[in-house]
Chain A
Amino acid sequence: MQFLQDPIGVIAAWLTGLLTGWGVSALVTQIILATVGIVILVSAAMLLDIFLVWVERKVVARFQDRLGPNRVGPFGLFQPFADIIKLILKEDITPDGADKLLFNMAPILSMASVLLLWAILPIASFLYGIDLNVAMLYIIAVGAIGTLSIIMAGWASNNKFALVGAYRMVANLISYEIPMVIALLIPVMLSGSMSVVGITQAQSGYWYFIVTPLGALLFLIAAIAELGRSPFDLNEGESEIVAGYHIEYTGMKFGLFYAGELLHAFTFGAFISVLFFGGWHGPWSDKYPLLGILYFFVKAMFFYWVIMWIKYTVPRIRIDHMLYFNWKFLTPFGLALLMTTAIVHKLLSNSSQPVYILGMLLANLILGWITVEILRSVSRKQRVISEPVPTVGAGND
């Protein structure tokens, strides 16, 4: 029964006992355990990634009214392996004039930046890499590494298209980091803790989505921007810069970028579920912690699906529009939301839970309504400016 409650702890204790029995020093044991844990976590993530390839292809096929992979294995489940084999067999090109070291480091970094996120991802109440007390900042920091990898790739390829793609992507990323941070601050504020585990535990009563839906929405948008997926997929564009920063990459290096993107998307889905939808929480998850894993993956998958849905339905935005949207709408909106949440949270902090929830919800609704009104008026002005006054008889020939 103890095992069902906390399998990891049991295994760890057993391993420790074993190793110390063999006379390994405590420090070494610690290191070995940590290594083992990391290896298991990473390989699990990679396996999931392989599975995600299949999911992505299936879903996009459905969106585009196709069947998708269905030849290799049941429902084409083994299609990813075929892809991998193909990618591995491809010739591995390094363009001359390229900066070898950086060129080869970039894909690894981009994959690593995704995997690093998994270190703090609480899959279940007992199952997480580490309970970091600055996890929120950690997310941003890791994102910075991703940015770095992109710029390295773009520059090292010694290719104009790649560089421009990298530029765009980096501009995108560092701009959208700000709403991202704001969105992350909201759960921090509500739970009073910067660790993801703490935030998840704080949601045992109710999901934060209920008290701050706008925050969740903000995070979703910022996350999509961070992912560089449609409608923010400025990093590539067949008509202008072809494949963007990974134009020069072939074979498994490209594969790493690709897989990194997929896993990144899933990871952000997971974060949405953890930060705003209670992560592993669900019916009886307290009694049977193993259920938490199921709940977590269901929620994560759902939001991954939402992200895919948006990607395959919304057209892309021009870069200036994208930056405009970020700096002139998303950031001020985020700040307003942050202040509102802070104030209302403080005001209602010592009132009964229903009152608190209703109050927060009401505040969010009001803020949303105001925002919509402002947007409407602004767009009206824009239309007035953009639409030329029709002149009689002139210019219509």
Chain B
Amino acid sequence: MSFVQIVFLVTALSILIAAVRMVTTGSMVHAALWLVATLFGVAVLFVLLEAPFLAVVQVVIYIGAIAIMFIFAVMLTRREMLDKGPQLNTKKGIAAALGAVTFVGLALMLTTWEGFDSYARPMANVDTVARLGDALLSPDAYLLPFEVASVLLLAALVGSVYVSINKK
């Protein structure tokens, strides 16, 4: 039970708790904030996985942008400040069952995979951030997906402005 493992377990536990609270809590704002907690935990996982860049980007994008957007949306789509009534619909039982089945199925599938219990080789001493930059911007690597993603973002920008614009 090494230190890193303890850290991982704590993080994982908090992630799962936050996630469950997120899907079950009554208040939408709380749900959004629980999402923030979850994402933060994921960022910690990224750090554990020695991907600091992704960790920081996770915080920037998800917590800095997406979560905020969610909170805005929550506040823009309510007449009264507090939610009333149950937040789960009538299908919650079967939904829960299906979720559980999915998890079990995935777990089973994974356990049948031989690389399931592999351990990470120690990271070669390279500047992953720089390499990531090269990979993203070199034509023989991932330049095209990168550009496509940027185009997608642009399209999303225009589209969201269009659909949510207040036509009077």
Contact = CB atoms under 8 A, between A and B. Distances in A.
A132 B33 CA distance: 27
Contacts of B23: none
Nearest to B27: A99
A145 B63 contact: yes
B64 A140 contact: yes
Contacts of A215: none
A166 to B, nearest CB: 9
A139 to B, nearest CB: 10
20 contacts: A102-B29, A132-B52, A133-B52, A133-B129, A134-B53, A134-B129, A140-B56, A140-B64, A141-B60, A144-B59, A144-B60, A144-B68, A147-B64, A148-B68, A151-B71, A155-B29, A158-B81, A174-B65, A174-B68, A194-B129
A141 B129 contact: no
B113 interface: no
Contacts of B71: 151, 155
B162 interface: no
A134 B64 contact: no
Interface in B36-76: 36, 52-53, 56-57, 59-60, 63-65, 67-68, 71-72, 75
Given A151-B71, A155-B71, A174 B33 contact: no
Given A27-B3, A132-B52, A141-B59, A152 B64 contact: no
Contacts of B33: 102, 152
Contacts of B60: 137, 140-141, 144
B140 interface: no
A169 B64 CA distance: 14
Contacts of B81: 158
Give the interface residue-count category, chain B: 20 to 34
B127 interface: yes
A108 to B, nearest CB: 14
Interface in A16-48: 27
A148 B33 CA distance: 9
Binding site secondary structure of chain A: helix
A138 interface: yes
Given A133-B129, A134-B129, A174-B68, A144 B53 contact: no
B29 A133 contact: no
Contacts of A144: 59-60, 63-65, 68
Contacts of A145: 59, 63
Contacts of B57: 137
A244 B64 CA distance: 21
A134 B53 CA distance: 6
Contacts of B75: 155, 163, 167
Interface string A146-177: 01100110010010000100010010001001
Contacts of B30: 99
A158 B3 CA distance: 42
Given A134-B129, A137-B53, A194-B129, A148 B67 contact: yes
Give the interface residue-count category, chain A: 20 to 34
Given A155-B71, A158-B81, A177 B64 contact: yes
Contact of A137 (B27, B56, B65): B56
A134 B52 contact: yes
Interface in A158-209: 158, 163, 167, 170, 174, 177, 194
A33 B71 CA distance: 39
Given A133-B52, A134-B56, 18 more contacts: A133-B129, A134-B53, A137-B57, A140-B56, A140-B64, A141-B56, A143-B64, A144-B59, A144-B65, A144-B68, A145-B59, A148-B36, A148-B67, A148-B68, A151-B71, A155-B29, A170-B72, A177-B64
B64 A133 contact: no
Contacts of A141: 56, 59-60, 63-64
Interface in B68-122: 68, 71-72, 75, 81
Contacts of A177: 64
Contacts of B68: 144, 147-148, 151, 170, 174
Most chain B CB within a 10 A radius of its CB, from A145, A148, A177: A148
Most chain A CB within a 10 A radius of its CB, from B27, B67, B68, B75: B68
Contacts of B36: 148
Interface string B126-167: 010100000000000000000000000000000000000000
A129 to B, nearest CB: 15
B106 to A, nearest CB: 31
Contacts of B127: 133
A257 B6 CA distance: 34
A289 B57 CA distance: 34
B126 to A, nearest CB: 12
Given A158-B81, A174-B64, A174-B65, A138 B29 contact: no
